[in-house]
């Protein structure tokens, strides 16, 4: 069900201006859309004023007025004196235009302000220690009833000028007449359905809606004659749309040196004064409040005039029409209306939500990467004054985490980095797959001739040794066999690289595998001067993997680390093993020569090597990369040239799921 103010979803652009301006925190962002929470809304219309995309809609009474009320036998329009601010050049022609639409009478709402003067004076005279809040503004009443329920008894129990005028007309023209209020206020639409005064006013049109009606009915207001209002005529009640106007009407002084009276207008000042009253910080006893800077700055005054020009126009309007007033007749009308019941009650309708705990607030702040006080930027991009208030709104289910712009930017940056890494990995995987296919074909073709070379070279060598021939080139046969075996080893590595074969998955103790590899490397004479330290900090040591392939991974990486230390003065290799979340993480840290930045992106590319001729094939890290990826793990490198490298291998702890086992052709019996 739509309320007085609602959001046009397709127009909302996530600017959060309405969130920032809403004094009642009555707007919740859902999926990027600023949705008005109807039960919390006080209908002040500030969100309508600040929305540059026109994404806020006001409940319209246009059809009701044109098709239901005007066709009835008697429909009376009552116009707010702020009319002059909305129709600065044609306000005197508006009565004629309204009669052209079909209204039978056009009256001044301001006479209603004259009717309640007596009650305002009575409230002022009976001040006895309690602060009295007076206002013709229904947004103020809504705000206090919903969010400052302890102040409800402080509200002066007096109807607004609109309701007073409606009661006067119903009393004089009969209950069957229809009364339509026309003004700058959105909150009036909520006031007419308040159970305390419901039925007095039949519809509310904003000045914006009135202009739309003129346009739809092709009424050129500028071409019409000036018109007069129907009686009763208003006196100084015409000033009520100006700040302090009602006090002026009631002849209550609001002089700057007056201690008992305060006049307040504007959203921020209103919030401050109501908070101060609630906290007993205010000694003044009579507070006159308007949510807007006077009704002349209401949300439905669509004019380019600034506040001061609007005020000038309203004063001009007052001076123009007050001359029509017959004081004796006016007093007679006021006297004859003395029995009208112009009192009303207000009721608590609390919409306050419980304050979250400090622990909950800190938890929410942490979710948006705000761990310390200095992390709270308080930039206001979310629509809330501070990060803390934003966290409170989230806890109260009035906001969502993606409203925080710095957090969202950081999140997007991380997503971009992840996407970039994924793209690089995908490109690398595609490259590896292509090279793997080529390598498999080449290896297959080379294996047979290599076998033949080794076979015949071995036969010749044995024959020479058996005959004990003194052949000067006997060592050449050994060289042939040695180089052929080296080629065969290269072919074997090529096949390992190309073979995305089946994993023989079992339970594997990673620290134990690393110990086995380290023992093998320590007995290598080439690495006798290297100090290898293994730091096992794991609580969970077992994962599911292909033990031989994982052993090959650590053999390749640790062996590379040792080779990087051959020309280093400090020959230390450190292996740290730890648990992180659902993974086993192994850091292999050397103090060697490091890796040039130009080579970092080539490390896992097949056949790329920086080792001396005959010492490397460039397949070790490529094979390592493939094995890690088959195990759903990750391998990364950090290095500074001249100061060593850190290879980080991350393997998941969880058992591979059935789908992945099937993709790899894993023997399911290994998991039983």
277 and 230 both lie in a single domain: yes
Q: Name the burial class of residue 425, with classes exposed (0-12), middle (13-18) and buried (19+) by CB atoms within 10 angstroms of its CB.
A: middle
Q: Are residues 433 and 444 in the same domain?
A: yes
> Are 515 and 601 found together in one domain?
yes
- Assess whether 377 and 415 both reside in one domain: no
pLDDT for position 347: 94
Q: What is the pLDDT of residue 363?
A: 86
- State the pTM of this model: 0.64
Residues 578, 487 share a domain:
no
Are residues 453 and 512 both part of a single domain?
no
Pair (488, 590) in one structural domain: no
CA–CA distance from 511 to each of 108, 535, 574, 617 (Å)?
A: 90, 9, 13, 28
Whichever domain contains 26, its CATH number is 3.30.70.20
- The closest of 74, 21, 61, 84 to 310, measured between CA atoms, is 84
DSSP state of 154: G
**Separation CA 5–CA 25 (nearest Å):** 14
Same domain assignment for residues 536 and 577: yes
**590 in the same domain as 483:** no
CA 103 to chain centre: 48
Residues of the chain with pLDDT under 70: 1-2, 127, 251, 253-259, 425, 428-429, 431-445, 467-475, 486, 489-502, 602, 605-619, 654-672
pLDDT in tens, 91-130: 899 999 999 999 999 999 999 989 998 888 888 877 677 8
The predicted pLDDT at position 661 comes to: 46
CATH of residue 649's domain is 3.30.565.10
326 with 197, same domain: the answer is yes
Number of domains in the chain: 5
97 within a domain of the structure (yes/no): yes
Same domain, 298 and 204: yes
Element (H, E) at 411: helix 405-467
Q: What is the pLDDT of residues 558-609, one digit of tens each?
A: 988 888 887 787 888 899 999 988 899 999 998 888 887 777 776 776 666 6
Same domain, yes or no: 200 and 52: no
Tell me what percent of the chain is helix, strand and coil, each rounded to the nearest 5.
50, 15, 40
Q: Domain for residue 345, yes or no?
A: no
- Residue 272 counted as domain residue: yes
Contacts of 363 (CB under 8 A, 6+ apart): none
Q: CA–CA separation, 165 vs 163, rounded Å?
A: 5
Q: Which domain holds residue 24?
A: 5-56
Asked, for residue 285, whether it belongs to a domain, the answer is: yes
């Amino acid at each position: 069900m739509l309320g007085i103010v609602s959001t046009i979803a397709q127009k909302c652009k996530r600017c959060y201006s309405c969130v920032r301006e809403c004094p009642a925190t009555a707007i919740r962002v859902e999926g990027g859309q600023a949705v008005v929470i109807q039960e919390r809304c006080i209908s002040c219309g500030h969100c309508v004023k600040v929305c540059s995309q026109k994404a806020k809609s006001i409940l319209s009474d246009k059809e009701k007025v044109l098709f239901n009320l005007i066709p009835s036998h008697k429909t009376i329009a009552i116009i707010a004196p702020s009319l002059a601010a909305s129709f600065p050049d044609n306000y005197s022609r508006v009565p004629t235009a309204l009669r052209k639409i079909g209204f039978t009478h056009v009256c001044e709402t301001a006479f209603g302000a004259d009717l309640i003067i007596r009650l305002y004076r009575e409230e002022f005279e009976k001040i006895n220690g309690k602060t009295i809040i007076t206002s013709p503004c229904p947004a103020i009443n809504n705000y206090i009833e919903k969010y400052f329920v302890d102040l409800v008894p402080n509200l002066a129990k007096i109807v607004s000028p609109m309701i007073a005028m409606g009661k006067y007309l119903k009393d004089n023209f009969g209950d069957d007449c229809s009364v339509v209020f026309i003004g700058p206020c959105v909150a009036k639409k909520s006031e007419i359905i308040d159970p305390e005064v419901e039925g007095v006013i039949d519809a509310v049109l904003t000045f914006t809606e009135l202009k739309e009606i003129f346009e739809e009915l092709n009424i050129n207001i500028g071409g019409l004659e000036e018109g007069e209002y129907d009686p009763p005529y208003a006196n100084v009640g015409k000033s009520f749309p100006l700040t302090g106007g009602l006090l002026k009407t009631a002849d209550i002084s609001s002089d700057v040196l007056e201690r008992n009276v305060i006049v307040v207008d504007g959203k921020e000042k209103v919030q401050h004064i109501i908070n101060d009253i609630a906290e007993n910080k205010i000694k003044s006893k009579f507070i006159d409040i308007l949510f807007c800077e006077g009704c002349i700055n209401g949300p439905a005054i669509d004019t380019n005039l600034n506040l001061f020009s609007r005020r000038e126009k309203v004063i001009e309007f007052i001076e123009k029409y007050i001359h029509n007033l017959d004081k004796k007749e006016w007093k007679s009308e006021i006297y004859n209306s003395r029995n009208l019941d112009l009192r009303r009650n207000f009721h608590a309708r609390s919409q306050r939500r419980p304050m979250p705990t400090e622990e909950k607030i800190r938890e929410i702040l942490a979710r948006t990467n705000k761990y310390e006080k200095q992390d709270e930027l308080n930039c206001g991009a979310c629509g809330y004054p501070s990060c803390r208030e934003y966290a409170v709104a989230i806890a109260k289910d009035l906001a969502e985490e993606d409203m925080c712009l710095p957090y969202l930017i950081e999140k997007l940056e991380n997503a971009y980095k992840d996407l970039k890494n994924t793209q690089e990995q995908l490109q690398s995987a595609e490259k590896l797959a292509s090279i793997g296919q080529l390598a498999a074909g080449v290896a297959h073709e080379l294996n047979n001739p290599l076998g033949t070379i080794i076979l015949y070279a071995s036969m010749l060598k044995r024959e020479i040794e058996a005959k004990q021939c003194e052949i000067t080139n006997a060592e050449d046969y050994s060289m042939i066999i040695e180089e052929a075996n080296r080629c065969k080893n290269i072919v074997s590595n090529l096949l390992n690289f190309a073979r995305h074969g089946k994993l023989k998955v079992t339970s594997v103790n990673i620290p134990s595998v690393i110990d086995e590899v380290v023992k093998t490397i320590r007995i290598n004479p080439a690495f006798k001067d290297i100090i290898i330290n293994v730091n096992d900090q794991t609580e969970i040591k077992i994962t599911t993997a292909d033990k031989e392939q994982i052993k090959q991974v650590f053999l390749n990486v640790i062996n590379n680390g040792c080779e990087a230390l051959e020309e280093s003065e400090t020959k230390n290799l450190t292996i740290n093993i730890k648990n992180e979340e659902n993974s086993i993480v192994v850091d292999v840290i050397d103090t060697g020569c490091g890796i040039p930045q130009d080579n970092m992106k080539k490390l896992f590319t097949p056949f790329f090597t920086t080792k001396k001729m005959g010492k490397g094939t460039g397949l070790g890290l490529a094979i390592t990369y493939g094995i890690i990826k088959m195990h759903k793990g990750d391998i990364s490198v950090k290095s500074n040239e001249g100061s060593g490298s850190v290879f980080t291998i991350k393997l998941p702890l969880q058992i591979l799921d059935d789908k992945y086992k099937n993709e790899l052709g894993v023997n399911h019996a290994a998991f039983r």
